[in-house]
C-alpha cells in the first residue's frame, strides 16, 4: 500500500501532539508494554461504549485471560458472562471467536498485518487499523467517530460528520498524519483524544482547543448542524431491551435456567419468544434441552 506523503495542514499534527502531551488521559491500554491482545480487547470493548465503563471490565478480563489462547480454552459463555453489562454482548462472542481464530490460524499470536486483522470476527475497518497503529505502531488512518467529527469541523467547516465512513475519509485523514510511523500512531491517538475531550458532539469546548485558531468551523461562525437524525424508536419496549433482560438472567445464573424463569422478565409472550429465539440464533444462548437454557458452551 502506498501512502500519501503530502500534508494539507502540516501544523495540525504538531499542535494536536503538543496538546496530547499535556492533556491526555492516563489510560492503561496506552501504557508501554501493553500486549496486542490487550489492545484488541480494549478496542472491541470501547466500540460504542464509554471509557469509564470499559476500564474495570478490561482489567478483569486481561487478568483472567492474558492471552488469546487462555480465552479460547474456555467456553464462549464465559466470555459473555465476563462481559457483564458493557452492552452489545455479541462483541464478547466475537472476541472469543477472534481468540479462537488467532490460535488456529496464527499460532496464538495477534497478527500485525492489517489484512489479517480484518479477517477476525468483530474486527472492522476501525478496529483493525487501531490495533495496527496502537499495538504495532504502524502508519494507518484510525478513523472513529471522534476523528470524523474533528475532521468535519476543523478541516471541512461542518458541524457534524457524515453518517458513514468512506474510503475518501480514510485517505483524507491519512494526509494529516506525519510520515514517521511512530509519530503517526501517536497523532492518531491524539486526534481521538481531542475529539473525545474537547471537540465533543454536543457542546464543544472550543476555548480549550489547540486548533481554535485554524478551525474551519469556528472561522465560519460555528454554524449549527442539522442535528441528529431522529431515532426510529427509543430503547424501552424494544427487542433489545428484552434480549438484555433475558441475557442478564443467564449471566447471573451459575446453572441452567428453566424457561419459566426467563418468562418473568417480559409480559408480552410473542416479543419474548422472538427475543429468546434471536439470542439463540446469535449464539448468545444455548438451549440444553427443551425449555432449559444457559450461556453457550
Partner DNA sequence: AATCCGTGGAA
Partner DNA sequence: TTTCCAAGGAT
- The distance of closest approach from Cβ of residue 6 to DNA in the complex, given in angstroms and rounded to an integer, is 27
Out of 5, 8, 48, 222, name the contact with DNA by CB under 7 A: 48
Residues 248-287 that bind DNA (CB under 7 A): 248, 278, 284
Is residue 169 near DNA by the rule CB under 7 A?
A: no
Q: Work out whether 85 is an interface residue with DNA (CB under 7 A).
A: yes
CB 196 within 8 A of CB 46: no
Q: Which listed residue (10, 14, 50, 66) binds DNA by CB under 7 A?
A: 50
Which of 16, 155, 191, 196 contacts DNA by CB under 7 A? 196
172 binds DNA (CB under 7 A): no
Indicate if 43 belongs to the active site: yes
42 makes contact with DNA (CB under 7 A): yes
Binding span for DNA by CB under 7 A among 10-18, 169-177, 225-233, 254-262: 225-233
| Interaction site with DNA (CB under 7 A) | 27, 29-30, 42-43, 46-53, 85-90, 94, 121-128, 130, 144-146, 163-164, 192-193, 195-196, 200-203, 227-228, 230-232, 234-235, 238-241, 243-245, 247-248, 278, 284
Instruction: Write out the catalytic residue numbers.
Output: 43
Amino acid at each position: 500500500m502506498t501512502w500519501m506523503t503530502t500534508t494539507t495542514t502540516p501544523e495540525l499534527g504538531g499542535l494536536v501532539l503538543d496538546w496530547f502531551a499535556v492533556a491526555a488521559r492516563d489510560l492503561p491500554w496506552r501504557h508501554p508494554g501493553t500486549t496486542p491482545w490487550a489492545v484488541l480487547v480494549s478496542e472491541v470493548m470501547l466500540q460504542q461504549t464509554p471509557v469509564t465503563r470499559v476500564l474495570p471490565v478490561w482489567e478483569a478480563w486481561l487478568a483472567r485471560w492474558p492471552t488469546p489462547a487462555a480465552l479460547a480454552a474456555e467456553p464462549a459463555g464465559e466470555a459473555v458472562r465476563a462481559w457483564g453489562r458493557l452492552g452489545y454482548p455479541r462483541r464478547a462472542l466475537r472476541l472469543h471467536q477472534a481468540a479462537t481464530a488467532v490460535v488456529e490460524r496464527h499460532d496464538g499470536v495477534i497478527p500485525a498485518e492489517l489484512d489479517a486483522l480484518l479477517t477476525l470476527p468483530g474486527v472492522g475497518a476501525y478496529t483493525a487499523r487501531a490495533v495496527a497503529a496502537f499495538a504495532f505502531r504502524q502508519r494507518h488512518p484510525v478513523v472513529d467517530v471522534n476523528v470524523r467529527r474533528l475532521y468535519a469541523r476543523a478541516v471541512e467547516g461542518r458541524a457534524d460528520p457524515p453518517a458513514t465512513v468512506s474510503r475518501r475519509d480514510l485517505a483524507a485523514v491519512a494526509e494529516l498524519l506525519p510520515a514517521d510511523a511512530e509519530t503517526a500512531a501517536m497523532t492518531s491517538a491524539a486526534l481521538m483524544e481531542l475529539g473525545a475531550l474537547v471537540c465533543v458532539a454536543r457542546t464543544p469546548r472550543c476555548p480549550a482547543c489547540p486548533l481554535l485558531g485554524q478551525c474551519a468551523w469556528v472561522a465560519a461562525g460555528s454554524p449549527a448542524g442539522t442535528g441528529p437524525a431522529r431515532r426510529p424508536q427509543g430503547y424501552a419496549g424494544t427487542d433489545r431491551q428484552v434480549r438484555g433482560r433475558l441475557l442478564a438472567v443467564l449471566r447471573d445464573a451459575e446453572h441452567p435456567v428453566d424457561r419459566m424463569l426467563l418468562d418473568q422478565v417480559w409480559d408480552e409472550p410473542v416479543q419474548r419468544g422472538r427475543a429468546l429465539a434471536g439470542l439463540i440464533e446469535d449464539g448468545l444462548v444455548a438451549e440444553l434441552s427443551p425449555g432449559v437454557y444457559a450461556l453457550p458452551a
